[in-house]
Amino acid sequence: MDKRNPRILFVDDEQTWCLVMEELGVLIGLSITTCQSSKEALHKFNEEDFDLIITDIRMPDESGFDFIRRVRRKSSDIPIIVVTAFHTDKLHSLSEALNIQKFLIKPFRITELEKAIKEYLPAEVVI
């Protein structure tokens, strides 16, 4: 099987974070699709194939956890990284229940995110 560039779905209602992720994708060779709502992201997820999802939790239309629940109905094994400014015990318990691989607390270093992306991408993709 040929190695291919990874496809990542990034969901955050803050346009600044979406722009940062698009730039990161260009810098390290990732194909990153950004969405500013979970509704838009769910539509993209159902229409396209992704290797990894990165999502915020607090968004205006529905929470990132609601989005993750919908994703899990279709795919129980796609790696998910949560990025959030809110660190609570509930975050930990829901992360386990929804099979979330990692969460990063904002603000975090881009190198931390890059390391997590590399750790959780499937073997058939390469950065």
Q: Is the dihedral of CA 101, 112, 63, 127 positive or negative?
A: negative
Domain extents for the chain? 7-120
pLDDT one-digit tens code per residue, 39-53 = 999 999 999 999 999
More confident residue, 100 or 91: 100
Residue holding tokens 């769910």? 42
Q: For 8-25, write each residue's pLDDT tens digit.
A: 999 999 999 999 999 989
pLDDT digits (tens, 9 = 90+) for 45-86: 999 999 999 999 988 888 899 999 999 999 999 999 999 887
Q: Model-level pTM?
A: 0.91
Give the architecture-level CATH label for domain 7-120.
3-Layer(aba) Sandwich (3.40)
Say whether pLDDT at 123 is over 80: no
